[in-house]
Copies of this chain bind each other. A is one copy, B any other.
Amino acid sequence: MRLLELPTPCLVLDRSILERNLAVMSAIVRRHGVAFRPHMKTAKSAEIARLAVAGEAGGIAVSTLAEAEYFGASGFLDITLAVGITPERLDRAAALVARGMELTLITDDPNTAAAIAAHPAPFRALIEIDSGEGRGGVNANSGALLVLGRALGPRLAGVLTHGGHSYAGRSIPEMQRIAEQERSAVVSAAWALRAAFFPCEVVSLGSTPTAMHARKLDGVTEVRAGVYMFNDLFQAEIHSCSRADIAMTVLSSVIGRRPGDNQVLLDAGAIALSKDRSTQSTAHDAGYGLVWGLDGTPRYSECRIESLYQEHGIARGNRPLPFDELKVGTKVRIAPNHACLTAAAYDRYHVVSGTDEVSVIWERVNGW
């Protein structure tokens, strides 16, 4: 099947770019001599997970129990659920452990830690550390760390942080500084636990920008990253990749033309693309996404999606668009601002390798 034959909107994944992205991150992390645990929250596909762990220890991270169940059913038995668990979810998580999964949970809450310790299932648990993002996690130097260690008892396996504030960085030196903040926070927490005679085998950190730019990872045992597999316009702006490293695009059809306004109307709207506007705060605001040719190149110069409705996107060129080519029905590919959110609207990838021939369809898991 060729891209021209696909119903739109749908996802196109270029396997050659995907594999290059996987190889780059793997090599970067391996250089530090630490384990790599791909985070599957972006790709949510067993086929992609198998490629991502090739040559690695085999463990993955996920963001929902639905992902843990899906990847467990696909044979992944070393999974870290890297979003804070609640006591109400432990029974559902325990069903995975009962089927042989080594499931690692994270928490920053003493009641939840006590519930994990009291649960019959032999979960492994990491204490979530806030390394500067201010989202989840306790401070590495706070007394809360030891309270959590005591509450988890024999379930305690280590510490985990996510330097998500790297998304606010705009230069490589900033990313290096944030990566060191992420590292020093989680390593400090590990040593604070060990100094109080708690075990702390796992020292886990990661985000695509910090994994990419960390200068040293001393004291760290594993790195997590997810969006690096696909990359997107925002990651290109924050120096995680170049635009040529964007592996996933949305195939879309022209459904209207306004030559007088140098605009085309596309069938990729707010559901198909997400309303993520992350590039707005960067040097190159891409609107809601950039319109590329069917061949995946920016052949329409800089044509960006300026308005988004539920099922319509309005794209405008910064130079005159070739309206003789852009007819109703013409297919284009849209590079997204934020691959994780764009992918979430779809249940499959149409996989190509540099050409317009779809070699295979890979499914993805959604929901919770």
Residues of A within 8 A of B (CB): 7-10, 41, 63-65, 83-89, 92, 108-109, 111-112, 134-136, 164, 253-257, 261, 265, 267, 270-272, 274-277, 307, 309-312, 314, 327-329, 340-341, 344-347, 366-368
> 7 nearest interchain CB pairs?
A86-B329, A84-B255, A109-B328, A275-B275, A271-B344, A63-B311, A136-B256
- Closest B residue to A257 using CB positions: B109
* Contacting residue for A255 out of B83, B255, B265, B312, CB 8 A: B83
Find out whether the CB atom of A341 lies under 8 angstroms from the CB atom of B63: no
CA distance A112 to B276 in the complex (A): 32
- Closest B residue to A367 using CB positions: B347
Nearest Cβ on chain B to A26's Cβ, whole angstroms: 23
* Contacting residue for A135 out of B86, B112, B309, B347, CB 8 A: B309
Find out whether the CB atom of B253 lies under 8 angstroms from the CB atom of A311: no
Find out whether the CB atom of A92 lies under 8 angstroms from the CB atom of B7: yes
CA distance A366 to B274 in the complex (A): 14
- Closest B residue to A137 using CB positions: B256
* Contacting residue for A368 out of B8, B108, B344, CB 8 A: B8
Find out whether the CB atom of B328 lies under 8 angstroms from the CB atom of A86: yes
CA distance A274 to B311 in the complex (A): 14
CA distance A136 to B258 in the complex (A): 9
Please indicate the chain B residues that have their CB under 8 angstroms from the CB of A368 in the complex: 7-10, 267, 272
Please indicate the chain B residues that have their CB under 8 angstroms from the CB of A112 in the complex: 328-329
Find out whether the CB atom of B86 lies under 8 angstroms from the CB atom of A253: yes
Known: A9-B368, A275-B341. A87 touches B41 (CB 8 A): no
- Closest B residue to A275 using CB positions: B275
- A sample of 24 inter-chain contacts (CB < 8 A) reads A8-B368, A10-B368, A63-B311, A64-B311, A83-B267, A83-B311, A84-B255, A84-B256, A86-B329, A109-B328, A112-B329, A134-B261, A135-B314, A267-B368, A270-B274, A270-B276, A271-B340, A274-B274, A310-B340, A344-B345, A345-B366, A345-B367, A346-B367, A347-B367
Nearest Cβ on chain B to A334's Cβ, whole angstroms: 14
Find out whether the CB atom of A312 lies under 8 angstroms from the CB atom of B135: yes
Known: A109-B256, A109-B257, A328-B109. A83 touches B367 (CB 8 A): no
Please indicate the chain B residues that have their CB under 8 angstroms from the CB of A257 in the complex: 109
CA distance A64 to B9 in the complex (A): 10
Please indicate the chain B residues that have their CB under 8 angstroms from the CB of A344 in the complex: 271, 345
- Closest B residue to A312 using CB positions: B135
Q: How many copies does the complex hold?
A: 2
Known: A111-B327, A164-B309. A88 touches B275 (CB 8 A): no
Of A136, A267, A314, A328, which is in contact with the most chain B CB atoms at under 10 Å from its CB? Answer: A328
Please indicate the chain B residues that have their CB under 8 angstroms from the CB of A310 in the complex: 41, 63, 340-341
Please indicate the chain B residues that have their CB under 8 angstroms from the CB of A314 in the complex: 135
Nearest Cβ on chain B to A326's Cβ, whole angstroms: 12
Find out whether the CB atom of A136 lies under 8 angstroms from the CB atom of B367: no
- Closest B residue to A268 using CB positions: B368
Known: A63-B310, A310-B341, A346-B367. A265 touches B87 (CB 8 A): no
Please indicate the chain B residues that have their CB under 8 angstroms from the CB of A347 in the complex: 367
Nearest Cβ on chain B to A344's Cβ, whole angstroms: 5
Please indicate the chain B residues that have their CB under 8 angstroms from the CB of A83 in the complex: 255, 267, 311-312
CA distance A329 to B309 in the complex (A): 35
Please indicate the chain B residues that have their CB under 8 angstroms from the CB of A84 in the complex: 255-256, 265, 328
CA distance A345 to B84 in the complex (A): 21
With A87-B328, A267-B368 given, name 4 new contacts (CB 8 A).
Answer: A41-B310, A83-B267, A136-B256, A271-B344
